[in-house]
Structure 1
Amino acid sequence: MREVACPVALHLDGVPRRIAAFEHPQAGLQLVKGGIEQGERPERAAARELFEEGGLETRAAIYLGESTEIDTGARWQFSLCRLAGPLRERWQHHCADDGGHLFRFFWLELDAPLPEGFAPPFRRAALWIRRAL
């Protein structure tokens, strides 16, 4: 089973509850996620992925839980990441994965209906996060 880290990057202002999400140029709307390396703690993997994919720095990460019902053959492990400020409302970040992509980030309001464009695994992950927080 693949081990997946999913950072829950909660906006510092807290109201409304918003988490970092992005538009992948080829794969639609997504949450940050990535593989957990051998011997790596899920919280550390979440902070690493958040920096690599979004350019956001994590001050501290707290493990929230896991689910094997997000994506077939994967255990998603969620960690709440306390971010370093200041934060912009929208930003772009060049991610080196898969030959390099420019990701367009925004803050996804957790308590509002999810916008169209999220693939089913990311929709399930957002609902898991909504319930966990």
Structure 2
Amino acid sequence: MVTFYDTPQEARRDAAARGLREKVVCLVTRAGSSGPELLVFDHVPDGGAGVQVVAGGVEPGETPERAATRELHEESGLSLTRPTVLTSYRWEAQLPERFTRQVCHAYALTAPAGTPDTWDHLAEGRYTFRFRWAPLHAPGLDWEMDAALPHLNQLLHKELQA
């Protein structure tokens, strides 16, 4: 179940009041030959985690915006700045092994020209993530990672109209 907040500040207050973990989700896009593309990755070897985008926890004393740029660098090797907040939401789900509830902050970032089509990155010295670009209209994401895609599409549409 996904519940959206009106502002990131409201989401942060709710997370603190409920004692919930805060997480960031990084939606990195680029212009592809067939339309906008989203940066996704798979685990190598595949451990059943599915197709994901860069995401991770907000550390104590850290802002979600800072967490987004830090997680992006740690998990992909990309050093992008100025993430644009898309939305914040509470995600609740009964997973096979446990019930989870967390507050997520989704950010849009734009990949610079020359970003490779694919690459592998060793994250935390133990996980190999294989990055690639997927069509934004059908990236095949798992978990709740697609919850903010309508907000990303709205932002990209506004940018095209400007």
Shorter-chain TM-score bucket reads 0.7 to 0.9
Which amino acid is 1:110 matched to?
Answer: L
TM-score normalised per structure 1: 0.80
- Which of 91, 97, 114 in structure 2 is aligned with 1:69? 91
The farther-off stretch of 118-127 and 69-78 is 118-127
Indicate the structure (1 or 2) with the bigger Cα radius of gyration: 2
Residue 47 (str. 1) matches residue 75 (str. 2) = no
Aligned residue number for residue 109 of structure 2: 81
Q: Displacement, 1:75?
A: 0.8
- Tell me the number of residue pairs that the alignment of Structure 1 and Structure 2 aligns: 127
TM-score, with normalisation over the residues of structure 2?
Answer: 0.67
Corresponding residue for 2:144? 121
CA distance in 2, matches of 1:54, 1:104: 9
Which runs of 5 or more residues in structure 2 are unaligned? 1-19, 94-99, 157-162
C-alpha RMSD over aligned residues: 2.4
- Looking at structure 2, the residues matched to 79 and 52 of structure 1 have their Cα atoms a distance apart, in angstroms, of 16
1:69 deviates by: 3.4
**2:71 is aligned with 1:20:** no
- Using the aligned pairs only, state the percent identity: 30
Deviations 1:63-88 (A, max 9, x none): 22211136541111011223344201
